Amino acid sequence: MLYLMVVFFACEEDCNVGRSAYTFETTIEGELRVAKIMKPVNECIRAPILFFFHGRGGTAQNSAAYYKFHNVELLDHMYIVYAQGTNYDDHPEDANGWVIRFPHIKSHCSGKDKDLQYLQAIIDHLSEDENADVENMGAAGFSNGGFFTLSLSALWPHTFKGFACLGCYSSYSPTLSLINCEDSYENAIDKSAAATMNALIKINPTPTLYMFGNSDSTLVPGVVSAVYKENCNEFCYFQNTILQLIIKNNSLMEVPCSVHNFMTDTERQIFKAKSGGAETQVQLYIGDHSWPANATTWMAEYFAELLYN
């Protein structure tokens, strides 16, 4: 992948060189919320921001130790924010997660905006107290944090330059299964209703990278094995997610979806933007519901190209 080449000019004042980190704290609806913030290597540079949202049970500290975006040289000139979730849906207290996961379902959204308040508090802090470019931000997430990332792409599409997620699926229409694809869902949906339901997906384009493993059972809840069908002729959250993202982002599918080998093609699939739309990228990897070795690099390359300008 080609990245944008960026030349940075240091300012005249003395600048701290090398990553430094601190914990940001704020109170949202009476609850203490924290985030681990990694400063760019040169604090004089007005730097972009990359947010990362962990999966269920994660913490900001663990995210920094495990995903290590701040150690990727390509991202040296970005703020890296490891956000930390909160209790949701009466899960155990130590199971931090993200409240909003399906923006079209009122029970998942209505009156549940504390994560959005938390995120806005971090953005305000970076704008007011740091040399951060809040007009140039990206959001990434894994598993539960990936659901939140996809929700942000629907709720705050103009706040971020792009999104990347792994190990999750989207839900941008009221009925998950109603996507009209020639080789899909023959036994699962009423195809005549597909176009009507697809029309309810709001087009609010933002570049998106969608990644998942070929043996990830998350995409078909309750199914542990044989998640993917080569021709996706049974209900499949994976292909549904790709098609919904293409609709939402107004991306171009140059050939009929029946031609695409969504289930087995591990080459990066790129659906370019139509006029006024945004590009959608898809990366299938060999693995289960875990973070593959290449994922941090894939995301780093993706956001370096999007956010350095």
Average pLDDT over residues 143-155: 93
Residue 248 burial by Cβ neighbours in a 10 Å radius (0-12, 13-18, 19+): buried
Residues 27 and 76 in one domain: yes
Cβ atoms of 273 and 247 within 8 Å: the answer is no
Residues 70 and 189 in one domain: no
86: domain CATH number is 3.40.50.1820
The whole-angstrom separation of Cα 278 and Cα 293 is 27
Average pLDDT over residues 43-64: 94
Would 7 be classed as within a structural domain?
Answer: no
Question: β-strands 31-38, 21-28: how paired?
Answer: antiparallel
Hey, CA dihedral for 286, 137, 48, 130, is it positive or negative? negative
As for how many domains the chain has, the answer is 2
pLDDT, tens digit, for every residue of 238-273? 777 888 899 899 999 887 666 676 767 889 999 999
Reading the block at residue 245, the tokens are: 């993202």
Residues 139 and 284 in one domain: no
pLDDT, tens digit, for every residue of 209-226? 999 888 887 765 444 333
Beta-carbon contacts of residue 97 (< 8 Å; ≥ 6 apart): 55, 56, 57, 85, 86, 87, 88, 89, 91, 144, 145
pLDDT, tens digit, for every residue of 104-137? 665 556 667 899 999 999 999 999 999 999 999 9
Q: For the chain, what's the residue count?
A: 309
Categorise residue 91: left if φ over 0, alpha if ψ from -120 to 50, beta otherwise. Answer: beta
Residues 309 and 252 in one domain: no
Residues 260 and 296 in one domain: no
- Could you tell me the pLDDT band of residue 53, with boundaries at 50, 70 and 90? very high
Residues 209 and 67 in one domain: no
Residues 235 and 147 in one domain: no
Short-list 9, 83, 23, CA closest to 49: 83
pLDDT at 195 > cutoff 90: no
Domain that holds residue 33: 17-166+291-309
pLDDT of the residue at 240: 73
Cβ atoms of 71 and 130 within 8 Å: the answer is no
Residues 154 and 122 in one domain: yes
Hey, CA dihedral for 289, 294, 296, 299, is it positive or negative? negative
